[in-house]
Structure 1
Amino acid sequence: MSDPHTGRSQTGYLFTNGGTAISWRSVKQTITATSSNHAEILAIHEASRECVWLRNVIQHIRGSCGISSGEEGPTILHEDNAACIAQLKEGYIKGDRTKHISPKFFFTHDLQKNGDITVQQIRSSENLADLFTKSLPTSTFKKLVHGIGMRRLTELS
């Protein structure tokens, strides 16, 4: 929960290609999550929608340029919440822990089932999207900034 006054969490995601950030977003969630797992499901839902859009753009560019895309594998989405990953693997199952989460937010499950994405667990200290959602210790911040492809000019020469 990034805003204690409204109870809303921060959604942040980042897509990279070739080790460089190509798309990112950080925004306060529009609905109040009832748990950290709920907040993570909302965030990965937004990231999944962006992922579909990026995959379509890349496919369009390749097609327009006559580049054969061949067999395109799934896009890997990193998630640092194990409960969220487990829940998305199963899909929407109405129960005590999920009854407050709208089934539409399980779009990510469908994308996994279709082979468009794979959700993999990552340690929070290595989650590049954390740059946009929380304050970090200096050493972690520097490591993640380097991870999104930002380099000092002295490193480039």
Structure 2
Amino acid sequence: MGFADAGYLSDPHKGRSQTGYVFTMGSTAISWRSTKQTLVATSSNHAEIIALHEAVRECIWLRSVVRHIRGTCGLKSTIDKPTCIYEDNAACIEQMKLGFIKGDNTKHISPKFFYNQQQQALLNIEVNQIRSEDNVVDLFTKSLPKSTFEKHVKSIGLRKLSELP
């Protein structure tokens, strides 16, 4: 499963937002990324769609790697269900469900949006909403209180050296 999020205008001097995603397998993080977006998002919804796009691209690559490894080892592929990607932006999720972007304020985001939409239609991904406080990728997009940080770190399978056997 994956988690995607954006920190809107995390760099107010350059007008850039932060993209973050993390993918887990067996409750352990296997892939994650946090980076400044390369273009200026014009709204928090736009920033979220860009972040989701990056997560979807990573997801499709991870699915192909798992499929290749299992095929090479002669194992049956287990990738017959969509990979669940959690997102906390309700507008972004609603647009993914409806399959279109409505309004003049959002029509400029279509290329990335339609890639995400296509992957959902192909049943490679399924975008679901998660409460913002439960979105573990906040680790990579914003400052958090210590207790929330520690909760999220533990939930993606990261441990302190002192906790290892």
For the superposition of Structure 1 and Structure 2, which TM-score range results when normalised by the shorter chain?
over 0.9
Report the count of equivalent residues. Answer: 157
Structure 1 portions without partners, runs of 5+: none
Q: What is the RMSD computed on CA atoms of the aligned residues?
A: 1.5
Query: Do residues 125 (structure 1) and 125 (structure 2) align?
Result: no
Among candidates 100, 117, 142, match of residue 92 of structure 1: 100
Q: 1:3, 1:70 → 2: CA distance? A: 40
8 Å contact 2:49–2:112 — kept in the other structure? no
Shift of 1:71: 6.0
Query: Do residues 16 (structure 1) and 24 (structure 2) align?
Result: yes
Instruction: Give the TM-score normalised by the residue count of structure 1.
Output: 0.93
8 Å contact 1:45–1:106 — kept in the other structure? no
8 Å contact 1:92–1:103 — kept in the other structure? no
Aligned pair in 2 of structure 1 residues 20, 88: CA closer, same or farther (>3 Å)? same
Shift of 1:50: 0.3
Among candidates 106, 128, 137, match of residue 145 of structure 2: 137
* Residue of structure 1 equivalent to 2:35: 27
Shift of 1:102: 3.3
Identity %: 66
Shift of 1:94: 5.3
Instruction: Give the TM-score normalised by the residue count of structure 2.
Output: 0.89
Counterparts of residues 8-157 of structure 1 (less than 5 Å): 8-70=16-78, 72-93=80-101, 95-153=103-161, 155-157=163-165
Q: Which has the higher strand share?
A: 2
| Consecutive aligned runs of 4 or more in structure 1 exceeding 6 Å deviation | none
Q: 2:146, 2:52 → 1: CA distance? A: 26
Shift of 1:143: 0.3
Shift of 1:90: 2.1
Q: 2:87, 2:73 → 1: CA distance? A: 33
Q: 2:86, 2:101 → 1: CA distance? A: 22
Which moves more between the two structures, 111-120 or 76-85? Answer: 111-120
SS of alignment partner, residue 77 of structure 2: coil
Q: 1:102, 1:81 → 2: CA distance? A: 17
Shift of 1:150: 1.4
Amino acid at match of 2:31: S
Structure 2 portions without partners, runs of 5+: 1-8
